[in-house]
Amino acid sequence: MLSEKMIAIIKSTVPVLEVHGTAITKRFYQLLFASHPELLNVFNHANQRQGKQQAALANAVYAAALYIDKLETILPAVKQIAHKHRSLGITADQYPIVGQNLLQAIKEVLGDAATEEILGAWAEAYGVIAGVFIQVEAEMYKEAEEQQGGWAGYRAFRVERKVRESSVISSFYLVPEDGGAIASFKPGQYVSVKMDIPGEANTHIRQYSLSDAPGKPYYRISVKKEEAHHGDPAGVASVYLHEQVKEGDMLLLSAPAGDFALDLEDSRPVVFISGGVGVTPMVSMLNTLVDLKSERTIAFIHAAHNDEVHALKQQVEDTVKQAQHAKAYWCYSNPVAPDAGDFHKEGYIDLPWLQEILPSKEAVYYFCGPAPFMAHINQLLLEWGVASEDIHYEFFGPKGSLEEEAEKAAG
C-alpha cells in the first residue's frame, strides 16, 4: 500500500500528466523499442504511427494518477487492458522493463520538474499498479489454459474455408490443426492472430472479433481489407490475410479474450447497432441468442456505405427469420441504387429513425464500429435518455474515449 505522502505526490502530478501525458508516452515507446526491439513483435505498428497507442497509454497513466488512492475505480479498465495483454502474451517479467522506460520518459519530458521525490513516488506507484495487472493477468492465463478446449500461448489453426462476404470483408473459418477441442467464448470476444508476413521484419499480431456463435467446431473471423486511406498506409495484416492466406494455410491463434460480451443472464430487449466491420461481434451476439432460442426482443441495426460493402447481410436476414421477436434494419449512407428497396434508411442513423423503428428506449444496447460512428450512437442514446449502464461498446484497437471522438467531430 502507498503511504498518504506518496499518494499526495502522485495526485499532484495529475495536472502535469493532463498536459504532457502524450509526450511522455511517445518518448516512452521510443525508449522501449530502442532498448528492447524484440517488443516490436508484439505492438501494432499502425497504432504506433497514428498515435493511438500513445494516447491510450497516456489516458491510462492519467487515470492511474487520478485514482491512485482508489484503484478499485479503474479495475474495469485494468481488466480490459489485461484481456489484451493475455491475448498478446505479455508476461510478468516485462513489467519492470516498462516501468524503467516509463520513469525515464517522465524524467526526460518533465526535466527539472521531475524531482527525485516525484520519480520515487511514481516508481513506488508503478510497482503497486503493475502488481494489480500481474495478478489479474495470471488468473486470466490460468483460466485460458485450464478451461475445456483451452490452451496457453498460440495454437495452430487451419483455414478450413475462406468466404468473400463483401467487396472489402472476407471470413476465415479456422479449425485446430491438432484436431482437439476448442475453447468456448463469450459472444463479443476476440482472438489474437499471430502472423509472420513475408517481407516484414517483425511479427504482426492483430485482434479480430469472433463473428459466429460459440459451440461451433470452428472459430470464424471476418476481416476488412484496410486499403491505404487519407495518407495512412494499407493494413499490413489485413492485406496479407486477404491476398496471400488461402484455404489450407495455418494461422496462430491465442485463446479467446475480451471484456466486451453479451450478458446472457439479461432477459430485456436488446438492440445491436454496428457500422462497417463493427458488425462482426454483433453477429456473434445475434447468432448466440438465436442458437439458444432466446425469447428476447432483438433489433439488429447496421450502417454501411452501400450494399457492396455490407458484409454478412444475407446471413443476418436468415438468422432473424429464425427468431420469434427479431428484426433487422439497414442504413446506407451512399446506396448504389437508392430505389432498390434493399435498405431501410438512406443517410445516417439518427434519433428520429431509432425512435421510429424501436418500440421503446427501454432496452440494453451494444454497438461497435469506427470511433466517430460510436461517438455518434452514444450521443444519440444519451440524448434519448438511455441509462449509461445499459450502453455497451467495443473499440477496435487501443481503448479510446467516445467523449474525445465527439469533441473531434464537433470541431
Task: Name the percent of the chain lying above pLDDT 70.
Answer: 94
153 contacts 257 by C-beta, under 8 angstroms: no
- C-alpha cell of residue 5: 505522502
DSSP collapsed to 3 states, the chain: CCCHHHHHHHHHCHHHHHHHHHHHHHHHHHHHHHHCHHHHHCCCHHHHHCCHHHHHHHHHHHHHHHCCCCHHHHHHHHHHHHHHHHHHCCCHHHHHHHHHHHHHHHHHHHHHHCCHHHHHHHHHHHHHHHHHHHHHHHHHHHHHHHCCCCCCCCEEEEEEEEEECCCCEEEEEEEECCCCCCCCCCCCCEEEEEECCCCCCCCEEEEEEECCCCCCCCEEEEEECCCCECCECCCHHHHHHHHCCCCCCEEEECCCECCCCCCCCCCCCEEEEEEHHHHHHHHHHHHHHHHCCCCCCEEEEEEECCHHHCCCHHHHHHHHHHCCCEEEEEEECCCCCCCCCCCCEECCCCHHHHHHHCCCCCCEEEEECCHHHHHHHHHHHHHHCCCHHHEEEECCCCCCCHHHHHHHHHC
- Residue 58 is predicted with a pLDDT of 80
Instruction: Tell me: is residue 54 an annotated ligand-binding position.
Output: no
Mean pLDDT of 52-69: 84
Instruction: Tell me: is residue 85 an annotated ligand-binding position.
Output: yes
The residue ranking higher by pLDDT, 280 or 66, is 280
- Residue 404 is predicted with a pLDDT of 56
Instruction: Tell me: is residue 397 an annotated ligand-binding position.
Output: yes
- Residue 403 is predicted with a pLDDT of 57
Q: What is the total residue count of the chain?
A: 411
Mean pLDDT of 388-399: 78
- C-alpha cell of residue 197: 508476413
For residue 230, is pLDDT > 80? no
Instruction: Tell me: is residue 207 an annotated ligand-binding position.
Output: yes
For residue 401, is pLDDT > 70? no
Cα(142)–Cα(168) distance, integer angstroms: 37
Dump pLDDT digits (tens) for 202-218: 999 999 999 999 999 99
Split at pLDDT 50, 70, 90, the class of 340 is low
Cα(331)–Cα(79) distance, integer angstroms: 34
Dump pLDDT digits (tens) for 300-326: 999 999 999 999 999 999 999 999 899
Instruction: Tell me: is residue 208 an annotated ligand-binding position.
Output: yes
Dump pLDDT digits (tens) for 373-382: 999 999 999 9
Split at pLDDT 50, 70, 90, the class of 31 is very high
Instruction: Tell me: is residue 279 an annotated ligand-binding position.
Output: yes
How many CB atoms sit inside 10 A of residue 354's CB?
21
Instruction: Tell me: is residue 372 an annotated ligand-binding position.
Output: no
Dump pLDDT digits (tens) for 80-104: 899 999 999 999 999 999 999 999 9
- C-alpha cell of residue 82: 489485461
Instruction: Tell me: is residue 21 an annotated ligand-binding position.
Output: no
Instruction: Tell me: is residue 367 an annotated ligand-binding position.
Output: no
Dump pLDDT digits (tens) for 254-282: 999 999 999 999 999 999 999 999 999 99
The domains of the chain, with CATH numbers, are 4-146 (1.10.490.10), 155-253 (2.40.30.10), 270-410 (3.40.50.80)
Dump pLDDT digits (tens) for 148-157: 999 999 999 9
- Residue 228 is predicted with a pLDDT of 79
- Residue 408 is predicted with a pLDDT of 56
52 contacts 397 by C-beta, under 8 angstroms: yes
193-202, 203-212, 327-336, 387-396: range with lowest mean pLDDT = 387-396
Catalytic positions, written as ranges = 95, 137
For residue 161, is pLDDT > 90? yes
Nearest 5°: CA angle at 377, between 375 and 380?
A: 110
Dump pLDDT digits (tens) for 67-84: 898 888 888 888 989 999
Split at pLDDT 50, 70, 90, the class of 62 is confident
Split at pLDDT 50, 70, 90, the class of 35 is very high
405 contacts 55 by C-beta, under 8 angstroms: no
Cα(27)–Cα(114) distance, integer angstroms: 15
77 contacts 87 by C-beta, under 8 angstroms: no
